[in-house]
Structure 1
């Protein structure tokens, strides 16, 4: 439990951590995930669209 920002605070560069926000941290983690597993941004967009469509049902 706890925030995404707090959980990743220790795992990064101390200077780059200044001004960190949850959306910015998510963007960094998402980019790393895409690079690591060979996905494209469009693949994450598909997840977002699925979640939105499920939410409006």
Structure 2
């Protein structure tokens, strides 16, 4: 894992950092789809600084 500072340094260069999910998730019911959506939003909220550093390079 990279720290925010390391990602900001890497994002300043021409190289890109690929963000990939660690596991595949399948949702069969609407409740499972809602739960997956909530978890994804929570992860994005927790790691917003890293994602913004990657976007704003």
Q: State TM-score, norm by structure 1.
A: 0.33
Choose between structure 1 and 2: higher helix proportion: 1
Q: State TM-score, norm by structure 2.
A: 0.33
Higher RCO by CA contacts (8 Å cutoff, separation 6 or greater): 2
